[in-house]
């Protein structure tokens, strides 16, 4: 046991003391915080303003195209040649010419001239707005009451409320659940590859330098493999904990500074909704329409309060650690079976296929988290670290979660036993190309 502890200690401190570990420990939180904050910050910034000169020869759209914060319409009556001169040197970014027969045309085709190509959102806004105007005009021509049409077009927004065992309602958000599930799955995927490959390279390096011959003279090969796996696992866990703590500190500080006004608006908005729902649940729908919704991005952040973060973090730590231990044993077996990293390709593919397949399966899991396929692959040990993390935010039954964890532990012990058999023989094999048939024989060697 003391020898195992010494191996773990050596693997841990030899990696923690490296400059690359310290650099990545600092850069990791900055990058993760940036991924969370920068998109929100960019989404909240004022976008490019487009000044559009409208030449409407039909007269139908004059003063009817509503302006937005980013799109401003100005109406003119000059010729297109005169307007193009304004486009070159004047204040306008775009010129839109509408033909005189737009009213009777079955397909209205406005022409958009620009000096710098606009984004797709500008074209979509113009198209949708003109379609609505033409739709209303043609309905009026048929003596149809537009007020009735507007009432019939009433939008529907789904408010998802989870009923807890205590009978309380908790607001949920499917998009956030998907983001959390995939975020945890991606983190586990990269962690397994990053630290699993470190185990494999470490085994190959020791084998190539013949250091392992000295080491195995005093410790058993299985102890050496297990010590290397656990040591690298502790390195990964240390780095991940530091990433989580530093990321939370950085993101909280920046969010408080950049989005304090939006957060205050969100809190006010939520208190208004709660008051409406308490006063009258039936009449609440009509009253809710009068409440202006705050920034949608900030509203999404607010929904995190209703997610059991503690449960997700505990499960993430479990699936990361045990999933890593399972795959690290297989990576160690691959490293012991070859003499160089270039020779690992034939053996590494079967090891990585279940991880890659997990992401393909995850696409279907988010559409139907309770399907038979989702249940099976969230319990199967080689895919459960990723598939279960995708399912977890969608309230997985307790017995399925427990069964998945037990199967993963059993799978870890089984694959570690197999890897130990390969490692024990392969670690001292030199100068020979190993085949799958050879690996099969190693599993049945005794001694």
Give the three-class secondary structure for 95. strand
Query: Residue 276: its pLDDT value, please?
Result: 47
Adjacent-strand bridge partners of 50: 71
Shared domain check, 428 and 319: yes
Joined together, the tokens standing for residue 347 give 């053996």
- Say yes or no: 223 and 125 in one domain: no
Inter-residue contact 54 to 74 (CB < 8 Å): yes
Handedness of CA 169, 173, 178, 180 (dihedral sign): negative
* Straight-line distance from the first to the last Cα atom of the chain, in angstroms, rounded to the nearest whole number: 20
Q: Strand 50-56 relative to strand 94-98: parallel, antiparallel, unpaired?
A: parallel
Burial of 160 (0-12, 13-18, 19+ CB in 10 A): exposed
| Cα–Cα distance for residue pair 134/70, rounded to 1 Å | 23
89 and 136 belong to one structural domain: yes
Q: Are residues 353 and 425 in the same domain?
A: yes
Any idea which residue has 């089984």 for tokens?
Answer: 414
Q: Do both 229 and 88 map to the same domain?
A: no
**Percent of the chain's residues with pLDDT above 90:** 7
User: Do both 329 and 411 map to the same domain?
Assistant: yes
**98 closest CA partner among 114, 86, 112, 83:** 112
What are the backbone dihedrals phi and psi of residue 381, each rounded to the nearest 5 degrees, phi first? -60, -35
Contact 277, 284 (CB under 8 A): yes
How many domains are there within the chain? 2
In a shared domain, residues 107 and 222? no
Which of 152, 169, 203 corresponds to the end of one domain? 152
8 A C-beta contact, residue 188 and residue 390: no
* 281 is a domain residue: no
Q: How far is CA 358 from CA 109, 206, 317, 378, in A?
A: 47, 32, 18, 9
Residue 13 lies in a domain: no
Whether residues 333 and 233 fall in one domain = yes
Last residue of a domain, one of 152, 186, 220: 152
Token match 């940036």: residue? Answer: 34
- The CB density around residue 289, as the number of other CB atoms within 10 Å, is 10
**What is the pLDDT, as a whole number, of residue 405?**
94
Has residue 73 been placed in a domain? yes
Q: Are residues 119 and 225 located together in one domain of the fold?
A: no
Report the candidate in 141, 163, 143, 144 with the shortest Cα–Cα distance to residue 152. 144
Q: CA 343 to CA 428: how far, in whole Å? A: 16
* Mean pLDDT per 10-residue segment, the chain (447 residues): 80 83 81 70 64 83 84 85 76 81 64 79 85 79 68 64 62 69 84 85 79 74 82 84 81 69 55 50 44 48 62 86 89 83 79 88 83 90 91 85 94 87 78 75 72
d(CA 413, CA 407) in angstroms, rounded, equals 10
Instruction: With respect to residue 166, please indicate whether it lies within any of the assigned structural domains.
Output: no
In whole angstroms, give the CA distance from residue 247 to residue 238: 14
Q: Which two tokens stand for residue 258?
A: 């950049």
**CA-derived radius of gyration, the chain:** 31
Is residue 143 located within the same domain as residue 186? no
Q: Compute the distance between CA of residue 83 and CA of residue 156 in angstroms, rounded to an integer.
A: 42
What is the C-alpha to C-alpha distance for residues 382 and 64, in angstroms, rounded to an integer? 60
pLDDT single digits (tens) 232-279? 888 888 887 888 888 778 777 776 766 666 555 555 555 554 554 455
- Residues 235, 8, 415: CA angle, nearest 5 degrees: 85
364: in domain: yes
User: What is the rounded distance in angstroms from the CA atom of residue 230 to the CA atom of residue 325?
Assistant: 7
Rounded CA separation 258/274 (Å): 26
110: three-class secondary structure by DSSP? coil
- Judge if 114 and 227 occupy the same domain: no
d(CA 311, CA 315): 6
Residue 178: predicted pLDDT = 76
> Helices (DSSP H) in 160-295: which residue ranges?
174-208, 211-215, 221-258, 260-279, 284-288
Considering the domain boundaries, does residue 167 fall inside one? no
pLDDT tens-digit readout, 401-442 = 999 999 999 998 898 888 888 887 777 777 667 777 777 787
Tens of pLDDT along 13-33? Answer: 888 888 878 888 888 777 777
Domain-embedded: residue 25: no
Tell me: do 316 and 193 sit in the same domain: yes
Write out the residue range of the structural domain in which residue 96 sits.
Answer: 50-152
């Amino acid at each position: 046991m003391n020898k195992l502890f010494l191996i773990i200690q050596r693997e841990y401190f030899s990696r923690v003391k490296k400059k690359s570990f310290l650099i990545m420990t600092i850069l990791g939180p900055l990058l993760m915080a940036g991924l969370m904050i920068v998109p929100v910050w960019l989404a909240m910034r004022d976008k490019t303003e487009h000044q559009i000169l409208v030449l409407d020869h039909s007269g139908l759209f004059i003063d009817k195209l509503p302006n937005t914060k980013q799109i401003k319409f100005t109406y003119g009556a000059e010729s297109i040649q005169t307007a193009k001169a304004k486009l070159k040197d004047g204040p306008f970014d775009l010129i839109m010419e509408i033909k005189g027969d737009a009213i009777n045309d079955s397909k209205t085709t406005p022409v958009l001239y620009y000096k710098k190509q606009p984004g797709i959102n500008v074209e979509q806004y113009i198209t949708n707005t003109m379609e609505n105007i033409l739709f209303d005009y043609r309905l009026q021509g048929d003596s149809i009451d537009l007020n009735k049409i507007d009432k019939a077009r009433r939008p529907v927004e789904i408010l998802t409320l989870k009923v807890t065992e205590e009978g309380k309602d908790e607001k949920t958000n499917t998009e956030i659940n998907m983001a959390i599930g995939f975020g945890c799955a991606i983190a586990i995927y990269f962690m397994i590859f990053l630290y699993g490959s470190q185990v494999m390279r470490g085994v190959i390096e020791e084998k190539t330098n013949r250091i392992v011959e000295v080491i195995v003279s005093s410790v058993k090969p299985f102890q050496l493999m297990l010590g290397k796996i656990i040591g690298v696992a502790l390195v990964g866990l240390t780095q991940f904990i530091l990433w989580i703590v530093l990321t939370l500190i950085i993101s909280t500080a920046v969010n408080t500074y950049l989005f304090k006004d939006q957060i205050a608006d969100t809190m006010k908005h939520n208190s208004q909704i709660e008051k409406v729902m308490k006063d009258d649940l039936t009449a609440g729908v009509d009253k809710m329409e009068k409440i202006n919704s705050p920034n949608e991005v900030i509203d999404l952040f607010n929904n995190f309060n209703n997610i059991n973060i503690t449960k997700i973090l505990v499960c993430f730590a479990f699936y990361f650690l045990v999933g890593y231990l399972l795959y690290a044993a297989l990576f160690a077996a691959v490293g012991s079976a070859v003499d160089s990293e270039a020779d690992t390709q034939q053996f590494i593919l079967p090891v990585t296929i279940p991880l890659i397949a997990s992401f393909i399966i995850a696409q279907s899991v988010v559409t139907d988290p309770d399907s038979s396929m989702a249940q099976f692959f969230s319990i199967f040990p080689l895919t459960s670290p990723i598939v279960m993390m995708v399912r977890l935010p969608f309230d997985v039954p307790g017995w399925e979660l427990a069964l998945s964890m037990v199967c993963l532990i059993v799978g870890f012990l089984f694959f570690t036993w197999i890897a130990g058999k390969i490692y024990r023989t392969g670690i001292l094999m030199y100068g020979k190309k190993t085949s799958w048939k050879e690996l099969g024989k190693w599993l049945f060697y005794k001694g």
